[in-house]
Chains A and B, each alone.
Chain A
Amino acid sequence: MADFALNPEMVDKVTPRLVKGNSTYKSVTDDVSRIVETKTPREWWIAFSLSVAVALMMVGMLAYLVAFGIGTWGNNSPVGWAWDITNFVWWIGIGHAGTLISAILFLFRQKWRTSINRAAEAMTLFAVAAAAQYPLFHTGRPWRAIYWLFPVPNTDLNMWQNYRSPLEWDVFAVSTYGTVSLLFWYVGLIPDLATLRDRASGVRAYIYGIFSLGWRGAARHWRHYEMAYMILAGLSTPLVLSVHTIVSFDFAVSILPGWHTTIFPPYFVAGAIFSGFAMVITLMTVARWALKLEHLITIKHLENMCKVILATGMIVGYAYGTEFFIAWYSGNPYELFTFVNRAFGPYWWAYWSMISCNVLVPQIFWFKKCRTSVPIMFIASIFINIGMWFERFVIIATSLHRDYLPGSWGYFKPTMVDICTFIGTMGLFMTLFLLFIRFLPVIAISEVKGVLAQEDQVAKHGHGAHH
């Protein structure tokens, strides 16, 4: 192989370089650190103020909710869950792409992940933070739920949790997921925090210094570090699959027609990846432009994500079809009615919004032109985000509003509090994300350098030249 000493241009044609331009180690460090080190731009302040305002609206709405009760939302009997759990599942789903990119693609040695994994992991965390509002605040008495849901040893009550309940599984799954994602993200950040520390002075140096734990890049440290990173990736992979599986158990374990189905775990996981990648695209297309990181987050990265969206979108579409087929094929009349009712009942608009956004829109990614056009993929990703929200709403509300006994059927309409709380969670998410891009390296500097080193080797010695 060494005979085919290829020049860099040739390499670029065969496998497009993941780091564009004349990047050096130094320039990678500079490009990424510069975002944090330069004076805060006015645009950031505007965006941040707006996000904080929206996040504060969420805080206000939640305070109002806690003060007066779930009745301030539109939930009713029979629709006991509505926007609350819809939003929860939606946000948790969005979180999945981050873990997927950082863990699964890491295990598959997909080097293209390095430019986006940091931001995607951050997105996971912030999405989980937004999602986590709901399991707590959707309860009628959150001030009790906050500690009665966890197995705290207690002598005054002698009470424990019911470990048969999927909601209790959820408590464990979501808190584990949040914790492990945070750890994973933090471990990845340590060397880069050290980079920022070494470039900073004064208080900033102390702060970055404390959080980088005194990282000094010793070979003996890298050895444990790489092992830890790989184990975390290995743990996160089944974890991320389990989280949405368990979220889907909230429905699948119930006896409600439309919920009680074995297809839910894979269907939910695929949907989560689908929506997560859509959100990564939404954020990254904006971020790479705003932060001038086009040479690090390249079209190649975006195109790969579009391919993942196309694939998972088709899995999701297939699941929609299977659900309908099984409802008919099973001969369960309640099940069949539920599905016919989804498509043609009072919530038909939600169902067809879901189908259009989730099944039809991703089909454009069959075309390379669409996969490589930033505006097109941005708009498509927004549609997919909307479609996936509708998917959860369709599953939750349409199954609940007409179940077994027609005498108990009802209809759900959201209130302003529902709507404002949801918008508020977006504010929370954006606030955290803006803080992230302002104070932390948005790209995994040391990892990109690792890739750069390998590409340099390729450039110097040709494919497979080293070793």
Chain B
Amino acid sequence: MSLVQIETKALTGRKYWRSLNELSGTPAFREWMVNEFPGGAELLDGASRRNVLKLMAASFGLAGLAACRRPEGKIVPLSRGVEDLIPGKSYYYNTVFTQGGSAVGLTVEAHDGRPTKIEGNRNHPQSLGASNGYAQASVLNIYDPDRSAEVLKGGQVSSWAEWDQFASQKFTAGSLGRGAGLRIVSESVVSPSLSEVRKSLLAKYPEAKWVEYEPFSNENAIAGTRLVFGQPLQAHYHYDKADVVLSLDADFLGIDSGSPLSTKKFSKKRRSAKPEDEINRLYVVESQFSVTGAMADHRIRSKASDIDSFASALARELGILSELNVLGSADKVQKILMALVRDLKKNAGKSVVIAGPRQSARVHALALMINQALGNIGTTVTFTQPLASPEAKAFADLVGELNAGSVDTLVVLGSNPVFTAPVSLKFSDALKRAKTVVHLGAEKDETAVLSSWHLPLASYLESWGDARSVDGTVSIQQPLILPLNNGRSALELTAQIAGYKDQKGYEIVRNYWTSQWPAAEQEARFRKALHDGVLAGTAFAEVKVSADPKRVALPAATAKSTQVEVVFVPSWSVYDGRYTNNAWLQEAPDPMTKLVWDNAALISKATADKLKVVDGQILKITVGGQSLEIAAMVQPGQADDSITIAAGFGRKQIGRVGQGTGFNAFEIRVSGDAIQFASDVSNTGKTYQLVTTQEFHSMTEPKLMDAIEPKTRPIVREATVEEYRHHPDFAPHMVHAPDDSIYGWFDYSEGNQWGMTIDLNSCIGCNACIIACQSENNVPVIGKEEVSYGRSMHWIRLDRYYTGDAEDPQAVIQPLSCQQCEAAPCESVCPVAATTHTPEGLNDMTYNRCVGTRYCANNCPYKVRRFNFLNYHKEMVDIEKMVSNPNVSVRMRGVMEKCTYCVQRIQEAKIKAKVEGRRGELLKDGDITTACQQVCAADAIVFGNINDPESRVSQEKKQPRNYALLAEVNTRPRTTYLAKLRNPNPELVEHHG
């Protein structure tokens, strides 16, 4: 195991900028510059000015010939070689990533000791090779120049030595006695070795308490199982066995899923290989438009607080409840409900009803009882013991103890409760009553500044540990680099406090596991665990349960409220605030709103009209006496009288990236509940610039002229399963494609020919491909202001269109990257031949030849080419550059860039084949996966050799619903789409004419 230590101090000197507003120098002039010359104010930055001079000298100056020689370069080999390490080659290590109590196994690519790219671990049951956006972007966090890198004592710079000195005195029986005054707050503990160390800590201080706290937890789900089965359980939903899925406010394909597994399973059942195939049917009842809602065949727009009534009504119809149907009069909903009941009954044992984490224990219990009634328990819904159970009450009790003054020492491990705690608890005030507060965190965050000691936290890529995923499978968390910020892990700090026998992360983890194995096998088994990324046989056994509905004591249903509800959800980009300083995630547009660098109060059009508010105006929302001013955004599909706010934005103690982004939802999250009611919502009349990456949201043209009826463009092609069976080739037949050339087509019948299909029916629009591509291809981050000009740089974008009713639409999502047209319009217009075609059908983009006329982008009908309007990379702090993929050129200003099907991976595979003596042979599936394909949990993206009839991409292209986007323009794209299918309940299909 080799680790490379990198001196970080030297790397964090330069300035990173997110928006030009931040570049403040002489205020008045600078302000003028920013206002008058958007996009150009970095002129005033000292470093840039030097660059200008250099550039001027290089381009205009008549430099002597001697100066023409390239600058002196150095080769600095290691003093002592590292066994098996080949410089410049990428290495892969398995590790595990934990967030919000769920762990996903990963395979991390490292270049010369720098982790650069995250992939899912194929061996891990929660990943199966896929991963999500957070995991993808987490690699950027370790190179965050604003990450906490110093021990702080009372806000002053201290050192680990001083801390160790302090700890050796503090954490002794002499000082803490039986630990009555010691309280530890952590995130969900899913690490077996940390549990072990915790055990020893609590043994040493029997009166100490350890509280797990998560702002977004699965507490209600577990409470639901307790209600129904009398014991806390973790439910597992097997969408791959379900023909009908009902989601009660569960965004199980999106934000409510900690792992890619549910998407993997769901898409398995969603996939259609031929017209006869049956696909599943998804019903979603929800308040905000989630990606799960976008996949739904039937989506019911409902206030989140009304979903209890819906669940009750459903239970009553299924004979579980005897209460009256309180659903009310909404005919449409009633009609869907009755059809749903019949559909569920028909598919008894082959359906899943799942409630979302924001719903109460009662709704979860109802969902479980419905599953029980349908015979789903044990088939599509199984249970294991729960992993961790953070309870809001335990945290509230802790605050009580703090306020009572009975807590002497509070240790906060790796979370930021001052920011995330329910505001009514006044945690920040309570915190001050503890004599000593120790905070171990990755950032100098809100909790850090109130603590007596702040200790830098080592990331999961920098420290040893382990983690259990929800199904019980254990993975060893294997570091790829020594802590860049000189941090320690929660495991190590706990061991220090507990006086555990081992103090180093590696020893703790290794000894914990090997001590359970026979001595002879220890080394081999540990090595295997590291190699595989999973510890075989650690999955929990299924707990067989059955409930007797009559004995379930359901809490009373909450009455419907006419008040405006506020629903708090974790953000797609920053989760609970832990990624607020992560530029990749900030810049990835929210899948549905397409909002970047901000959150907003999402409201329906009707609610907006009622409040007399338009997009970008600031609302004042008051909940339980606390109020928040937040920009409003009208979101189609949002339930009336329901406001959804993504949490995690609006942080005050934050680095340069997250500074000034969004609004802090936690300011009005009075209690721990996700759904609360606003006592007052009013328009302040103030405005705020919300920036989205998409300005027009329909495939139907806007109506501009009375005489001309707007047309709907055949972009995302969609049919019901029924229609598909009648017209299997409906998609290609939606337009007339000429497929003709005055010159004749170029011959691409020989050798490898690259192609791609994107199954619009599988794609859920989760953004993971955007971030994977960004990470793989060194795609720059440009900041809110640049995005607002329309200069987004993502090589793959997700176009989201609404169809149907303006207030209650359906949504379709289409990933769009370079289509690698055989008759590429971009190529023929480039005056310097910077974009050309390879014999393998790739549309090459030669950055170093490009002079930046932008003609190619203008002539691209898909608008997938991206131009470096400013020097986006130049302003990166050196340490952040360490995240770059060395196999891809970093593009300078003035150069066009775009997707190349990850040509660096293609070339790497080809060279590998050559070195292995397979010259001239066709490459097979598996030799190359593109970054977007690899990350895709839905397996919607398939890349491969279209000259190989066995390849998956060839197979997919043979499907009748395969179509080329804009085939009518005769570009002959290599990327084709598989049309989207919907599977509506035949009872609910309205037949026209």
Contacts and interface: CB of A to CB of B under 8 A. Distances in A.
Interface string B873-898: 00000000000000000001111100
Point out which of B801, B859, B896 has the most chain A C-beta atoms below 10 A from its C-beta. Answer: B859
Interface stretch (A92-100, A159-167, A453-461): A159-167
Interface stretch (B109-117, B511-519, B693-701): B693-701
Contact of A253 (B705, B829, B832, B850): B829
A28 interface: no
Interface in B668-726: 694-699, 701-702, 704-705, 708, 711, 713, 715
Given A80-B867, A81-B854, A404-B862, A254 B825 contact: yes
A139 B866 CA distance: 14
15 contacts: A66-B59, A67-B52, A68-B43, A75-B869, A80-B855, A139-B851, A148-B851, A162-B832, A168-B831, A254-B855, A340-B708, A404-B713, A404-B861, A410-B695, A415-B40
A213 B902 CA distance: 62
B832 A71 contact: no
Contacts of B969: 255, 404
Nearest to A417: B37
A409 interface: yes
A408 B862 contact: yes
B228 to A, nearest CB: 44
A344 B704 contact: yes
Q: How large is the interface on B (under 10, 10 to 19, 20 to 34, 35 or more residues)?
A: 35 or more
A68 B870 contact: yes
A19 to B, nearest CB: 48
A333 interface: yes
A69 B871 contact: yes
A380 interface: no
A25 to B, nearest CB: 49
Q: Is the interface of B mostly helix, strand, loop or mixed?
A: loop
A255 B860 CA distance: 8
Interface in B276-326: none
Contacts of A341: 704
A140 B894 contact: yes
A51 to B, nearest CB: 23
Contact of B854 (A75, A334, A340): A75
Given A81-B858, A255-B825, A417-B37, A159 B849 contact: yes
B55 interface: yes
Interface stretch (B622-630, B769-777, B788-796): B788-796
B212 interface: no
Interface in B362-416: none
B832 A407 contact: no
A409 B893 CA distance: 23
B541 interface: no
Nearest to B856: A80
A76 B851 contact: no
A68 B859 CA distance: 25
Given A77-B857, A164-B828, A406 B43 contact: no
B801 A77 contact: no
Contact of A405 (B40, B830, B861): B861
Contacts of A139: 851-853, 894
Contact of B851 (A79, A145, A411): A145
Contact of A77 (B39, B55, B701, B865): B865
Interface of B: 36-40, 42-43, 48, 52, 55-56, 58-60, 694-699, 701-702, 704-705, 708, 711, 713, 715, 786, 789-792, 797, 799-801, 814, 816, 825, 827-833, 849-855, 857-859, 861-863, 865-871, 892-896, 965-966, 969, 971
A283 interface: no
A406 B701 contact: yes
A361 interface: no
A465 to B, nearest CB: 57
A76 B789 contact: yes
A67 B831 contact: no
B859 A77 contact: no
Interface string A121-165: 000000000000000001111111100110000000001111011
A72 B867 contact: no
Contacts of A144: 851
Nearest to A165: B831
Contact of B38 (A142, A164, A409, A415): A415
A140 B850 contact: yes
Nearest to B788: A76
Contacts of B705: 340, 343-344
Nearest to A141: B894
Point out which of B799, B816, B869 has the most chain A C-beta atoms below 10 A from its C-beta. Answer: B869
A98 B709 CA distance: 46
Contact of B43 (A67, A76, A145): A67
A119 to B, nearest CB: 34
A265 interface: no
A466 B324 CA distance: 115
B123 to A, nearest CB: 37
B708 A68 contact: no
B37 A416 contact: yes
A400 interface: yes
Interface string A82-126: 000000000000000000000000000000000000000000000
A345 B59 contact: no
Contact of B829 (A171, A254, A333, A410): A254
Contacts of B869: 69-71, 75-76
A256 B858 contact: yes
B831 to A, nearest CB: 4
A138 B790 contact: no
A241 B688 CA distance: 51
A72 B863 contact: no
Contact of A416 (B36, B715, B854, B865): B36
B855 A403 contact: no
Contacts of A266: none
A161 B43 contact: no
B740 to A, nearest CB: 14
A337 interface: yes
Nearest to B859: A254
A160 to B, nearest CB: 7
A407 B861 CA distance: 12
Nearest to A72: B40
B922 to A, nearest CB: 30
Contact of A74 (B789, B827, B857, B861): B789
